[in-house]
C-alpha cells in the first residue's frame, strides 16, 4: 500500500496506461467514467434534516448508447457520528470481456454539524497485474500539507449533499486526491432540473464543478426527495461524455419536500 505523506503535483489518472485498439479504448472509457465517482467527535444534530442516514445506492454508467459500468455506494453512520463511505465500480458484462479492472474507494471520518470531516481515504484499483492501493490520512500524517477544510473525492459527494440540503453551498471546495494533490474547485448552481432515474422523474438541484482541468467537467443532480442523494452524474473527459444514473436505493424513502 502506498501512503501519502506529502503534496505532489501528479494527475490522478497518471497510472492508467494509454494505448490503441478496442481493448485500450474501452479500458480508457471505463476508467474515465469510474474516476468521476462522482465523502471532531461532534455527532450530527438531532432533528437536522441534512444529517446523514445509512444508505445503499446502485448506479449504471453509460457511454453513448452503451452501458459500460456499474457503481455501488454505501454509507454507514454510527450513533456517535462516525461514518464509513464506500464505493465499488466495476465494468458491465460487455466491457468485462475486454477488461476486469475495478475501482474501490473508502472514506472514513466524523460527521459534524457542518458536514463530513474525513480522517482517511483509500483508493484501490484492480489492474492486469493485481490490486494497487493508495491512501491519504488527514490526521497530521501528511506533514501539515493538507488544509483543515480538505475533503477527499468520496466525502466531497457527502459534503455537497449536506450543503445543498442546508442551503449553504460553499464558494470553494478543497479536494485532496489519492496522490495527496490539493486542488480547489467552485460550484455553479444551475437551479432545478427534472431528471429521470430509477423508474421515475425527480426534481433535482443541478450543480456543476468549476475549476481545474478545462477538459474535465462534472455535473451532479441532487434530489431532495432522497435527502439530496445524487440521482444522476454527468462527466466529460476530453470530449467523451458519460452519464451515471441511479437505478436502486435502500435507506432513503422518496418523500417530496
For residue 89, which of 69, 75, 74 has the smallest C-alpha distance?
Answer: 69
pLDDT score recorded for residue 247: 95
The domains located in the chain, with CATH, are 2-6+16-250 (2.40.360)
Q: What is the pLDDT along the chain (257 residues), one digit of tens a residue?
A: 544 433 323 332 222 233 333 344 444 444 444 444 433 223 333 334 445 789 999 999 998 888 888 999 999 999 899 999 999 988 876 555 445 578 899 999 999 988 999 999 999 988 777 888 889 998 755 456 788 899 998 999 899 999 999 999 998 999 998 778 888 999 999 999 999 999 999 999 999 998 877 778 889 999 999 999 999 999 887 788 889 999 999 977 666 55
The reported pTM is 0.76
Amino acid at each position: 500500500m502506498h501512503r501519502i505523506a506529502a503534496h505532489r503535483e501528479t494527475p490522478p489518472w497518471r497510472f492508467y496506461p494509454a494505448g490503441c485498439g478496442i481493448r485500450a479504448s474501452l479500458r480508457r472509457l471505463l476508467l474515465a467514467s469510474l474516476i468521476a465517482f462522482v465523502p471532531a467527535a461532534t455527532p450530527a444534530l438531532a432533528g437536522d434534516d441534512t444529517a446523514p442516514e445509512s444508505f445503499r445506492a446502485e448506479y449504471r454508467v453509460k457511454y453513448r448508447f452503451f452501458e459500460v459500468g456499474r457503481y455501488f455506494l454505501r454509507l454507514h453512520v454510527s450513533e456517535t457520528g462516525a461514518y464509513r463511505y464506500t464505493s465499488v465500480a466495476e465494468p458491465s458484462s460487455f466491457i468485462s470481456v475486454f477488461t476486469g479492472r475495478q475501482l474501490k474507494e473508502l472514506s472514513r471520518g466524523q460527521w459534524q454539524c457542518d458536514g463530513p470531516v474525513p480522517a482517511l481515504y483509500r483508493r484501490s484499483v484492480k489492474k492486469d497485474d493485481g490490486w494497487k492501493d493508495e491512501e491519504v490520512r488527514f490526521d497530521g500524517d501528511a506533514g501539515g500539507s493538507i488544509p483543515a477544510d480538505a475533503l477527499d473525492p468520496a466525502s466531497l459527494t457527502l459534503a455537497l449533499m449536506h450543503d445543498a440540503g442546508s442551503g449553504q453551498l460553499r464558494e470553494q471546495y478543497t479536494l485532496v486526491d489519492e496522490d495527496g494533490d490539493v486542488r480547489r474547485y467552485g460550484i455553479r448552481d444551475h437551479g432545478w432540473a427534472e431528471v429521470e432515474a430509477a423508474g421515475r422523474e425527480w426534481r433535482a438541484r443541478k450543480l456543476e464543478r468549476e475549476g481545474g482541468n478545462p477538459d474535465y467537467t462534472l455535473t451532479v443532480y441532487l434530489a431532495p426527495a432522497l435527502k439530496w442523494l445524487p440521482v444522476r452524474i454527468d462527466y466529460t473527459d476530453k470530449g467523451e461524455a458519460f452519464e451515471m444514473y441511479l437505478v436502486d436505493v435502500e435507506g432513503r424513502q422518496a418523500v417530496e419536500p
